[in-house]
Structure 1
Amino acid sequence: MKRTIKKAVVLGSGIMGSRIACHFANIGLEVLLLDIAPKELTDQEKAKGLTLDSPHVKNRIVNTSLQTAISSKPSPLYHQEKASLITTGNFDDDLSKIKDYDWVLEAVVENLEIKKSLFEKVELYRKPGTLISSNTSGIPINFMLEGRSEDFQKHFCGTHFFNPPRYLKLLEIIPTKKTDPKIVDFFLHYGDLFLGKETVLCKDTPAFIANRIGIYAIMSGMHTIQKMGLTVNEVDKLTGPVIGRAKSATFRTMDVVGLDTAVKVAAGLYEGLPHDESREMFKLPKIVQELYDRKWWGDKTKQGYYKKVVENGNKEILELNLETFEYEQKAKVKLDVLDKTKNEEDLKKRLKIVINEEGREGDFYRATFFDLFRYCTVRIPEVADELYRIDQAVAAGFGWELGPFESWDAMGLKDCVDQMKKKNLAPAPWVDELLAAGHQSFYKYENGKKHYYDIPSKSYKVVPGTEGFIYLDAFKENNVVWENDGATIYDIGDGVLNVEFHTKMNSIGAEVIEGINTAITMAEKDFRGVVVGNEGQNFSAGANLAMLFMFAVDQEFDEIDMMIRQFQNTMTRARFSTVPVVSATSGLALGGGCELSLHCDAIQAHAETYIGLVEVGVGLIPGGGGTKELTLRASDKFMPNDPELNILQEYFMNIATAKVATSAHEARAMDILTVADRITLNRARLLADAKERVLELADAGYTQPKERTDIKVHGRTSMAMFEAGITGMKYGAYISEHDAKIAKKLAWVMSGGDLSAPTLVSEKYLLDLEREAFLSLCGEQKTLERIQSILFKGKPLRN
């Protein structure tokens, strides 16, 4: 039976339920969100003479919850228009509607009796064959089946999303003994392909995989922190991006999530794991227990490990002293290991550095990582039969770039084992068996595929479900066809090349420009097309400002002019090559990264692509063809009956305000992505999808584009419109004098210069105007101050 999901019901509109509903709407599902009807009227409802039977009252809880979710930041929706796909209702009046839906997901309060009672009502209306699942994070899935029909049991399992569902990639699938295996396979496939999730098959054990391992890592870390006397700020510096974790690191994450939530999970694990050899680790150390007892639970209680205060109108973030439990000013942290790793973009190389660091910082890393590694090895096969499932669950659920076993590989498997044994943290015997057999890692790449060490067979097998993925690591040994310090070109098969950047934040400088041009030259001679993409956090944060700043300070304007020409020529090369070039964007695609994407034949964008032309933030305008390109796109959309040039003005404002799309869908609404560009929901599939797009364009008989000479610009007419708006903004104190100067330069280019009437111009004409404006702004002192602030302080400057 072919199964599809077009409509889904979410039962429970709390923090998880409302946001799961939003993510279902993100992918185009019609969603019915239900919750209980209120038992009492509010004072406002009483004043209006409403009753408990009034429709507005009966849906008050669900409507309030949904509105809170929609208005929250970051948004749970790819685009606000997606909210129209969600309909609300209540259990009393609308539960019968579930008969028309394909998937019913329960996300009510974590109380077994309440869930069972709700499922009993669901059985009255649910159509046989309808999928039914629970989003529980702690209640055993099997406990929910009591009294349910055979058809219900066959189609029921746990589907555990992590909060926030849009952003955290994990979806744990937890079948019961009675779940039809075909239903399990469907959820694993659907979550991957349509929800964009890392779908991980879990056993019905306490907290499943991610929370079992992730909470252990947190609690083990807390015990170590207390023992070593580290400060809050020191720990968050050591446990953030430097080791591939979120910026919020340890203590800030606890504040955001809520200390009470973490304590509840830890307490549940202590209670539910009487036979866990490390059970005592789930007991709260003083640095957690003290805050819990004081109800300093983080953001929800306005104080936790950090506290925001306002003095004399100035906001300040204080940190908790873990010895006195008093709040203090955040002390500047000087950590040697951060200095040693700050210029290393490769996470695997950074992990090698930190685990071998001497002194207190290295001791902290070894204590926490080695205990986590040991714990993971002895949890197999209790929580999972295969080690890759632990990596997938923990990395996706907690936002780690690498899972425990992947991190271990990066640090050196055998070296770590030798050190672990000296610290009485020996791993499970199967690790010694792996090493004794001559193997050096948990993972390896063969024939372009990622393999994991399978413990029962003592051999390597392909990670299931990844057969169609592209891992650039798999091509590093035999398929590198060219490289320099900033870029690598891989032959990824089927006549397609991939250009990977590996500069800081994947910024575009001379080395990357050389890599792009080399890839196109090679492809035009011997290949079918090019993908520009990587597996990093960001596609590209823009052009390399450091070199520009150096030339600008020295007033080397000929050098700057040459840089801009080279950049523009490379963008033009991507547009007018004889083979298709596809950009695979994810994370930040800003400034020059956006301009490159705009000039490719197509963009294959991950849903979480944050793209925009942000050059005005550093006192410039887009100089690599971005201004030209949006002027061209406005011309294509211009309507004869639109005398106010609304489209052009909208695109002008997007550049002038440095607007960044917060999703690929929003980028489409901004016309940065066109209808021909495509969106990938699962980040792991992005490069494969981009390659497929290259082949599709090539197979369709790719024709080299020609330069456009029919771009309609409006000269003095649009310039007058822009200047009126700029003047109004300046007099209203919304923009500075320098902002106005930048905006006028931008308006000049988008108007086509000083033309007395609407005129058709070429791309080259607009590129020349763009380069001239960019160059002139490089000579402005206030522009240099803005660039300097970004480079040396990491903060934008408004001057």
Structure 2
Amino acid sequence: MAATTTGAPIRKACVIGAGVMGSGIAAQIANAGIPVLLLDIVPKDAANRNAIAEGAIAKLLKADPAPLMSSAAAKLITPGNIDDDLDKLAEVDWIVEAVIEKIEIKQALYRKLMDKRQPGSIVSSNTSTIPLAQLTEDLPEAFARDFCITHFFNPPRYMRLLEVVGGPKTDSAQIERIAAFGDIALGKMIVRGKDTPGFVANRIGVYWMQAAIIHALDLGLTVEMADAIMGRPIGAPKTGIFALLDLVGLDLMPHVDASLAASLPAGDPYLSIRRDFPLLTKMIAEGYTGRKGKGGFYRLNTEGGKKVKESVDLRTGAYAPSTAARLDSADAAKGGLRVLVTHPDAGGQYAWRVLSGMLSYAASLVPTIADDIVAVDQAIRTGFNFKRGPFEMIDELGAAWLAEALRKENRPVPDFLAMAAKAGSFYKVENGRLQYLGLDGSYRPVERPEGVLLLRDIKLASKPILKNGSASLWDIGDGVACLEFHSKMNAIDPDTLTLMKQSLDHVGKNMKALVLHNEADNFSVGANIGLALFAANIAMWPMIDDLIGQGIAVYKAIKYAPFPVVGAPSGMALGGGCEVLLHCAAIQAHSETYIGLVEVGVGLIPGWGGCAEMLIRYQPQSAKEPKGPMPPVAQAFETISLAKVAKSAAEAKQLRFLRRDDGITMNRDRLLADAKAKALALVAAGHQPPKPAELRLPGPSGKTALTLAVDGFVAQGKALAHDRAVSLTLAEALTGGATDMTEMIGEDQINKLAKQGFMKLLRSEPTLARMEHMLSTGKPLRN
């Protein structure tokens, strides 16, 4: 089915170049449900002329993290080659070129495409280094009109940024068309860049990387010390700088550096900080190219039968066991960026040198690389995974403070930074709307694309209807409310359950529908096991029993509410976070939703209705599925006992955490609006709560069958004694206890059995040990 976008829809695509990047782009197009050709050259002396593209698809299916959201998406990718299959371009609406970064090779390919492509089809390059003007030089105007740059970031499934760059000859309608497709169908943050070196994200991001390397050398820092500062303390990914280079490949940096330097105008600040890094050259020559090679700035030494993490000495190039960096400035960074960059230790000096250069550089580049600061901040957040863009970071430091600090060091202050220093900031909130500073010195609203509804914008303009320490209820318009979790990791605790109940009461009396959604990294990691462990350790069994009962009651109220409750998750939705979604009338999930019932990992079973709901979802949905009471039990048992977690919303449908007609939104910024629309559609259709389910379960005979299977795993050493205890407790609940398979059993009875099993396991020492280990290490305990 074609994706709905501005202009003619993109019904079919083609990616030329089946390397890591090209195949990853093809995978994301397939993830969107769009058929895509993947073409490459014909290998020499090969019997299979499509061997390169076919090999790339095979790698996609094995790669981790997975480029494909489901194995079914791979079926939408058709392999081919540029000698035999260019005639197929007549059926294609968008052609993506992702071949080697050599202009003569790219232009030769474009000339081959001209007579083969469909008139009006978009042709784009994924180049990160070659200007558009050079790519289209000497090519016909008709081709240039449909040509643009679509610069994806690697890996294309997980990195949200898509830079779209047009030239003076590019038809603006084609830019709008591909931008809308990238936004809605591919789930990308679209940043309109200009045809300048490095475009937007790399222009600033590569400066940051170069500065982070050079200043670490100049200050004599270890790689651990540098990474301890250039990671979470500044709001960058936790890898920091040197572990990041290991991840992306050390051999990439010299290429990017040389390409950017060659295209920059004389006097650009980047040119003044770059220099030779002999150690890097030596490491690359010896095969130390990072994780894809023998190691990089970090490596695992396996000599002597033990794995020892080592790091390289930036001065000598010698490896030694890696030791954690302890810097007071890294801890002080919790107080904010200004506390970090003014700290007197080496880490504080390092942060100041890197950030002062990077932020002043960014301020000097608007409007050269993009029309406004919003685009620049979006590019750095989504292209380099920073928590804040450079102008948001300047506002945290204080624009006036940064300008004055630069002056004290006799360093230039960009005009735009000086303007923000006088105005007060680059961003401000006025009349409940976020505004940004324009180059003319006036503020203007940050405009969201049509179809984007963000909870953070709603919060600027309103107060919550209801609120406590763990959750809040917001009015998102048109009679729809949004229940937001905001406890640590959005774990569900008594306050969360209380506000759920109060929200159901409020919506039932005053509104039309309820959406469960938040903008944290994860929807919910489940019940607050720390609270449960504390209560268990002091034998507060009645309190725990009451908490389980509350959860069952509130989740049941969600399921049977007289109005629609729509779940809108993104990120992890585990345990109790999964269970609340299972009780919703419908789900509109972000494509990157990782959902599962994982309670067995801490020695428990789902206690808030998950067992009953999975039994219901595994009931036969077609004539092809096996009938009888045992197949749904066996499927639910396998899913729960193995703690299966869907690695995408598409996979969640396969595991039946999502129903067939539940929706999937590719762009997270559109999730809340899509969920609200789904809720209102259910209202318009006359939503009625479901009738209570009655199931035929196998009873003791079914439990015996599951026991035999579990005992087999124990005998093979694949399961431990406590795994057996947990699995058999789960089997008791799923098979219906002492029921006879001629009887019908309701959800309440299954929930009662699950609750009893939960409480029994919670009283066992091995389960308490598993819970304590998970809380202290974040990893499951095998005991």
> Do the structures match in fold with TM over 0.5?
yes
Question: For residues 739 and 727 of structure 1, what CA distance do their matches in structure 2 show?
Answer: 10
Aligned equivalent of 2:528: 544
The corresponding residue for 2:631 is 646
Percent identity between matched residues is: 37
8 Å CA contact 1:617, 1:786 repeated in 2: yes
Asked whether the equivalents of residues 470 and 487 of structure 2 are also in contact (C-alpha less than 8 Å), the reply is yes
Partner of 2:86: 95
- Aligned equivalents of 1:350, 1:568: Cα separation in 2: 41
One-letter code aligned to 2:324: K
Residue 704 of structure 1 deviates from its aligned partner by 4.0
Deviations 1:359-382 (CA, angstroms, capped at 9, x unpaired): 444333333222221010001121
Shift of 1:710: 1.3
Secondary structure at 1:77's aligned position in 2? Answer: coil
- 8 Å Cα contact 1:256/1:298 also seen in 2: yes
Q: Deviations over 1:84-124 (max 9, x none)?
A: 11111111111121112111111111111111111111112
- Letter in structure 2 aligned against 1:19: G
- Indicate the residue corresponding to 1:27 in structure 2: 32
Kindly provide the amino acid, as one letter, of the partner of residue 75 in structure 2.
Answer: S
Of 672-681 and 402-411, deviating more is 402-411
Counterpart check, 1:280 vs 2:272: yes
Q: Deviations over 1:236-269 (max 9, x none)?
A: 3333345443333322221111011122111211
2:408 is aligned with 1:403:
no
1:354 Cα deviation after fit:
4.3
Compared CA separation, residues 466 and 367, structure 1 to 2 (3 A):
farther
Q: 1:323: Cα distance to partner?
A: 3.1
Q: Structure 1 residues 629, 92: CA separation in 2 closer, same or farther (over 3 Å shift)?
A: same
Q: How many Å separate the matches in 2 of 1:728 and 1:638? A: 31
The residue number in structure 1 matching 2:313 is 321
2:752 partner letter: D
* 1:667 alignment partner AA: A
Amino acid at match of 1:141: L
Partner of 1:576: 560
Deviation, 1:188, is: 1.5
Could you report, residue by residue, the CA deviation over 1:38-68 in whole angstroms, capped at 9, with x for unpaired residues?
Answer: 12x3xxxxxxxxxx5x4x2x12222222222
Does the 8 A contact of 1:489 with 1:499 survive in 2? yes
- Listed as ranges, the gaps of 5+ residues in structure 2 are 1-5
Can you list the C-alpha shifts for 1:520-571, whole angstroms capped at 9, x where unaligned? 2222222222222211211111111111111122232212111211222222
Unaligned runs of 5+ in 1: 42-51, 343-348
CA distance, structure 2, for counterparts of residue 526 and residue 445 of structure 1: 30
User: Which amino acid letter does the alignment assign opposite residue 690 of structure 1?
Assistant: A
Show the counterpart of 1:765: 749
Determine the C-alpha separation between the residues in 1 that align with 2:341 and 2:450.
30
Seen in structure 2, the aligned counterparts of structure 1 residues 709 and 488 have a Cα distance that, compared at 3 Å, is: closer
**3-state secondary structure, aligned to 1:395:** helix
CA positional deviation for 1:758: 4.0
Q: Answer with 520-529 or 537-546: which moved more.
A: 520-529
Aligned position for 1:104: 95
The one-letter amino acid paired with 1:85 is L
1:277 is displaced (CA, Å) by 3.0
SS at match of 1:126: coil
Contact 2:400 2:418 survives alignment (8 Å) = no
Partner of 1:634: 618
Work out the CA distance in 2 between the residues paired with 1:128 and 1:618.
59
Letter matched to residue 745 of structure 1: T
Structure 1 residue aligned with 2:323: 331
Contact 2:432 2:461 (C-alpha < 8 Å) held by counterparts: no
Instruction: Please say if 1:659 is aligned against 2:644.
Output: yes
8 A contact 2:616–2:693 mirrored in 1: no
Q: Structure 1 pair 636/408, CA: closer, same or farther in 2 (3 Å)?
A: farther
- How many pairs align? 776
Residue number in structure 1 paired with 2:678: 693
Matches within 5 A, 1:582-601: 582-601=566-585
Change (3 A) 1:552 1:339: farther
Distance 1:725 1:231 in 2: 53
Alpha-carbon RMSD across the aligned residues, in angstroms, is 2.4
What is the letter of the counterpart of residue 639 of structure 2? N
Q: How far 1:180 sits from its partner (Å)?
A: 0.4
Tell me the distance in 2 between the aligned counterparts of 1:2 and 1:352.
47
C-alpha distance in 2, partners of 1:738/1:542? Answer: 22
8 Å Cα contact 1:270/1:280 also seen in 2:
no
Show CA shifts across 1:551-594 (max 9, x none). 12223221211121122222222222333222221111111111
- 2:123 match: secondary structure: strand
Paired with 1:793 and 1:2, the residues of 2 have a C-alpha distance of: 51
Distance of aligned partners of 1:665 and 1:435 in 2 relative to their CA distance in 1, 3 Å threshold: same
Q: Which residue of 1 aligns with 2:654?
A: 669
Give the Cα–Cα distance (whole angstroms) in 2 for the partners of residues 186 and 332 of structure 1. 49
**2:136 aligns to what?**
145
> Secondary structure of the residue that 1:297 maps to in structure 2?
coil
- Counterpart in 1 of 2:3? none
Q: Given the superposition, is the C-alpha separation of residues 338 and 560 from structure 1 closer, same or farther in structure 2, using an over 3 Å criterion? A: farther
Q: Structure 1 stretch 70-79 or stretch 240-249: which is displaced more?
A: 240-249
In the aligned structure 2, how far is the partner of 1:468 from the partner of 1:14? 33
| Cα pair 2:145 2:171 within 8 Å, conserved | yes
Shift in CA distance, 170/508, structure 1 to aligned 2, threshold 3 Å: same
Q: Name the residue aligned to 2:777.
A: 793
Deviates more, 1:313-322 or 1:93-102: 313-322
CA 1:788–1:670 in structure 2 vs 1: closer, same or farther (change >3 Å)? same
Shift of 1:466: 6.1
Amino acid at match of 1:106: E
CA distance in 1, matches of 2:220, 2:618: 59
Within the alignment, does 1:121 sit opposite 2:112 as a pair? yes
Change (3 A) 1:668 1:225: same
The reply to whether residue 177 of structure 1 matches residue 165 of structure 2 is no
For residues 260-317 of structure 1, give each alpha carbon's deviation from its aligned partner in whole angstroms, at most 9, with x where no partner exists: 1122111211222142133122334566455445542212221101101224543332
TM-score using structure 2 length: 0.94
Match of 1:219 in 2: 210
**Cα distance in 1, alignment partners of residues 504 and 781 from structure 2:** 37
State the shift of 1:195 in Å. Answer: 0.9
Residue type of the alignment partner of 2:125? S
Q: Report the AA paired with residue 12 of structure 1.
A: G
Asked if 1:310 is matched to 2:302, the reply is yes
